[in-house]
Chain A
Amino acid sequence: MRKKPTYEELEQKIQGLEKEAITRKRSEEALKESNRYNRELIEVSLDPLLTISSEGRITDVNCATEKLTGYSRDKLIGTCFSDYFTDPQRADQGYLQVLREGYIHDYPLEVRHRGGTVTPVLYNASVYHDAKGDIAGVFAAARDITKLRKVEEELRKNEKRLKDSFAEVAAKNEELDSFNYRISHDLKTPIVTIDGFVGVLREDFGDVLLEDGEKYLGYISDAARKMEILINDILALSRIGRVPRRKTKFSFARLIEDAVRALQPRIKARGIVVNIQKDLPVIYGERVRLVRVVDNLLTNGIKYIGKKNPSPRIDIGVEKQNSQKAFFVRDNGIGIEKKDFDKIFQAFERLPSAKKQVVEGTGIGLTIVKRIIERHGGKIWLISEPGKGSTFYFTLKDKEV
């Protein structure tokens, strides 16, 4: 027989039950809150999320997936997940890969909306497990890459446009070169005539020409000669782009020695000391054209050494510049202002300071030099200060040095 509980005992038991009920209620609320929290997180995700059972059926979606597919959650759950893609087979392959490897990363697919619009997406998915540790299904998150695709498309278009206009510029350049070539040739014909008949006049009528007459013929003949030099320079410039020369390996030192020797009379006349660095490298390139580069830089050095220079000097050599071999021609002549550094490489540009020093010159020399260097994959630049002199540097493509 059970002993009848006392009033206090009953009181205690009731209190205990009440406490238990409160605790249970609290933990139920906590559980509810936790579920609500989890659901909220899933729903607020902007990326479309879904879970798929191990049989390939949709078990859950968030509203982003509803939006993406155009179907409600109720409609989606229980259906085959791959039906919502433009390429169901590919979608299945991705799903199998997740089961096999545990996850997939940035798997590209296209989702078809109920209304027909297609959205390009990248899927990240992995398997999730039940309490026993068995695979319960796949959790997949999509990222809408429509904008990315558009940007990519735009980039591709821009690239093509750039390529097209580059080709157009190249074609225009070629056209211009060949136009230059034509016109220069056509200009040669009248010069042959002008200079030729100045000669005829001198020969046939020289004795009846008054003093001034001879002087005027001299003007005509000088003008024709200047025009010829100009035309030959334009021809040379247009030829660099059109006609490749044979590339060979040769000694840079020899090239410089030859150039200096050819200019010796002018060097001597100005009393210039020319110093050539020892141990210059062997280089590879279009020799005839590189001769022109050195000859031109040297000639400029001589021309602009300065009339009152007390100790005129030109140094030629090579030194490391930004881990590249840079050849240089350095003079202590009149120098160039920094603002004119770019100008001097442009065709037909002659600086007023240069004209004052030397009357002759077409203003194409350095343009030709620049073109030749660029054709060799190199660069040309200078350091200079008025009154102190100039150093012209040039590089050739690494493998060619």
Chain B
Amino acid sequence: MDYVASNILLIEDDEAHAELTRRAIRKAGNANQIDILTDGEEALDYVFNRGKYTDKKKYLLPGLIILDISLPGIDGIEVLKQIKGHPVLKKIPVIMLTTSDREEDIARSYSNYANSYLTKPVGYKQFEERIMQIDSYWMLINKKPSILEA
């Protein structure tokens, strides 16, 4: 499957939070491309190349997925479940990024094989710093496979 290890897919319904995240990724300066999708169904269409995302050459799989939990319609946990239930997609690291620190949300995320769980901190600097940490750890330090195979 075609995939671009340096791409990040952000699934986030809050436009403002998406914008803050995009800024922080840009600021981190690692030249990582970020695509933003705002609901769970669309996110699944994207990664499964369905609906308007059938063009596999155009819509490439990302090297990292940052996923919010509360999404309209299909929520983040369900998106996670489907990605991690797929023999190829399951290899893409998925990071949960949410305001929730509910024990249930944390537990459900890990039971469905989330690779990490982070909360959105209040405070511009803190938020920016966290995103930059994600970028630097998962996109620079962490080693990813060169191609995704079943």
> Given A200-B23, A243-B103, is A189 in contact with B124 using a C-beta cutoff of 8 Å?
no
* B124 x A185 contact (CB < 8 A): no
Q: Does B56 make an interface contact (CB < 8 A)?
A: no
**Which residues of B are found within 8 Å of A185, using beta-carbon distances?**
99-100, 102
Residues of the A chain whose Cβ atoms lie less than 8 Å from the Cβ of B23: 200
| A188 pairs with B103, CB closer than 8 A | no
A-B pairs under 8 A by CB, number: 53
Q: Is the CB of B17 within 8 A of A199?
A: no
- Which of A30-38, A150-158, A190-198, A278-286 has 4 or more CB atoms under 8 Å from chain B? A190-198
Interface contact A181-B124, CB-CB below 8 Å: no
Report whether B16 and A196 are in contact in the complex, using a CB–CB cutoff of 8 Å: yes
B140 at the interface (CB under 8 A from A): no
Does B120 make an interface contact (CB < 8 A)?
A: yes
A243 to B124, CA, bound (A): 30
The size class of the interface chain A forms with chain B is 20 to 34
Q: Mark each residue of chain B from 78 to 120: 1 if its CB lies under 8 Å from any CB of chain A, else 0.
A: 0000000000000000000001111100000000000000001
The distance in angstroms between the C-alpha atoms of A193 and B127, with both chains bound, is 10
- Contact residues, B38-67 vs A (CB, 8 A): none
Q: Is A92 part of the binding interface, using a Cβ–Cβ cutoff of 8 Å?
A: no
Q: Is A374 engaged at the interface, CB distance under 8 Å to the other chain?
A: no
Complex: A57 Cα to B43 Cα, angstroms? 92
List A153-170 residues whose CB lies under 8 Å from chain B. none
> Which listed residue, B100, B122, B125, touches A191 by the CB 8 Å rule?
B122
- Whether, in the assembled complex, B20 has its beta carbon less than 8 Å from a beta carbon of chain A, the answer is yes
What's the nearest-Cβ distance from chain B to residue A360, in Å? 17
Distance of B20 from chain A, by nearest CB (Å): 5
Complex Cα–Cα for A193 and B15 (A): 9
Q: Does B2 contact A (CB under 8 A)?
A: no
Complex interface: chain A residues within 8 A of B35 (CB): none
Given A185-B99, A200-B20, A200-B23, A192-B122 contact (CB < 8 Å): yes
Which chain A residues numbered 189 to 247 have a C-beta less than 8 Å away from chain B? 189, 191-193, 195-200, 202-203, 224-225, 228, 235, 243
Contact of A192 among B101, B103, B125, B127 (CB under 8 A): B127
Are A189 and B17 CB-contacts (below 8 A) given A196-B127, A243-B103?
Answer: yes
A199 to B131 Cα, complex, angstroms: 15
* Given A189-B14, A224-B122, A196 and B20 contact (CB-CB distance below 8 Å): yes
Chain A residues with Cβ below 8 Å from B125 are 199
What residues of B have a CB within 8 angstroms of the CB of A243 in the complex? 103
| A199 in contact with B102 given A189-B14, A192-B122, A228-B122 (CB within 8 Å) | no
B positions within 8 Å CB-CB of A: 14, 16-17, 20, 23, 99-103, 120-125, 127-128
